[in-house]
Structure 1
Amino acid sequence: MTTKICVYPGTFDPVHLGHLDIVERALNIFEAVVVAIAENPKKKPFFSLEERVKMFQDAVSKYKGRVIVEGFSGLLVNFMKRYNTKIIIRGVRLFTDFEYELQIAMTNYKLDKVETFFMMPQQELIHISSSIVKDVALHGGDVSNMVTPYVKSMLEEKVRKI
């Protein structure tokens, strides 16, 4: 039997509980999930690529080898060749997410016949986005119901330095 691997790409700045819900749900379908964290300097990330990788690795450590977390730059379809897969998982929350994600999915298909599967997080998590998490943290709000304790501590440390 071949191992079925999917890639879950994103900026994950920072990883939140909605992202982790998508990983867990993908593991119900696939044997392994590769979390591909995009460098993406255009977005001017709050956290460095290394910090984002470390936060996601901490958050998925309980999956013991079924989740690989790696940073990358360049085209996602090129990154995916390392894992010999043509399957992407993307989380979508709202119709506006889907419209953008559909354009990306169609481009990846045209580039290398990559299939994209869209998944929605649990209803309790559908409102969470990395932007909202950062905004709440920057204004002194409690993000403990949106992120893991480690990510919360990283956010608090980053906010203290601003």
Structure 2
Amino acid sequence: MTRAICPGSFDPVHLGHVDVITRAARLFDEVVVAVSTNYAKTYRFDAEERRMLCAESLAHLPNVTVVPMGGGLLADFCREQGAVGVVKGLRSGLDVDYELPMARMNRHLADVETVFLPGDAAFLHVSSTLLKEVAALGGDVAPFVPPAVLRRLVPPDHPDGAGRDVPAEP
């Protein structure tokens, strides 16, 4: 059985993440989505909210589990989980420049390979940071986030009512 880790802070999870994790679930027997916390960042959602939003948004994938990841090394987490791979989505060359040194270090530390999946063109411009900003300023983020996230990101008392009656995940 092959297990891969898909790490991230997922603040919040968006459809670009869901796309990459869905494709990873076709490549590996099991995918563990590791919701991490970078203490240098300020989060909109706390760790448990981020884990729950991921779990609800990925519930349709039977071979995907969502777990919290402590503040340790990803390499150690991979070893503890018995993972053979790390899956990362790439949106641009900037992502490659950022992710490649980490992939090499993880291979050195834990003999784990990193699989890079190119992001879907529909989501290449999407980031959690941008979505939070657009939602806070009243913009429509519905095309980019799962319903569970939309319900939490756009409050029900928002002037356009966008947070009301958002359908549940299928």
Q: Could you state the TM-score of these two structures normalised by the residue count of structure 1?
A: 0.91
Q: CA, structure 1 residues 138+158, in 2 after alignment: closer, same or farther (shift >3 Å)?
A: farther
User: What is residue 4 of structure 1 aligned with on the other side?
Assistant: 2
Please give the alpha-carbon distance, in whole angstroms, between the structure 1 residues aligned to 2:156 and 2:37: 19
1:19-76 CA-to-partner distances (Å, cap 9, x unmatched) read 0000111112111110011121211221100000000000011113x10101112111
Give the counterpart of 2:64 among 64, 67, 90: 67
Equivalent residue, structure 1, for 2:93: 95
Higher relative contact order (CA 8 A, sep 6+): 1
The letter of the residue matching 2:91 is: R
Moved over 4 A (4+): none
Residue 44 to residue 92, structure 1, CA distance change in 2 (3 Å): same
RMSD between aligned alpha carbons? 1.6
Shift of 1:82: 2.8
2: CA distance, partners of 1:117 / 1:158: 39
Change (3 A) 1:19 1:159: farther
Q: Select between 150-159 and 104-113 the one with higher mean Cα deviation.
A: 150-159
Counterpart in 1 of 2:105? 107
Contact 2:25 2:61 in 1 (8 A): no
Counterpart residue type for residue 55 of structure 1: L
Match of 1:85, SS?
coil
CA contact 2:79–2:110 (8 Å) conserved in 1: no
Alignment of 1:14 onto 2:8: no
Question: What does 1:1-162 align with in structure 2 at a 5 Å threshold?
Answer: 3-64=1-62, 66-73=63-70, 74-157=72-155
TM-score by length of 2: 0.87
Unaligned runs of 5+ in 2: 159-170
For structure 1, the 5+ residue unaligned runs are: none
Residue of structure 1 in register with 2:168 after alignment: none
Q: Tell me the matched-pair count.
A: 157
Bigger fraction of residues in helix: 1
Which secondary structure state, in structure 1, belongs to the residue aligned with residue 91 of structure 2? coil
CA distance in 2, matches of 1:133, 1:127: 10
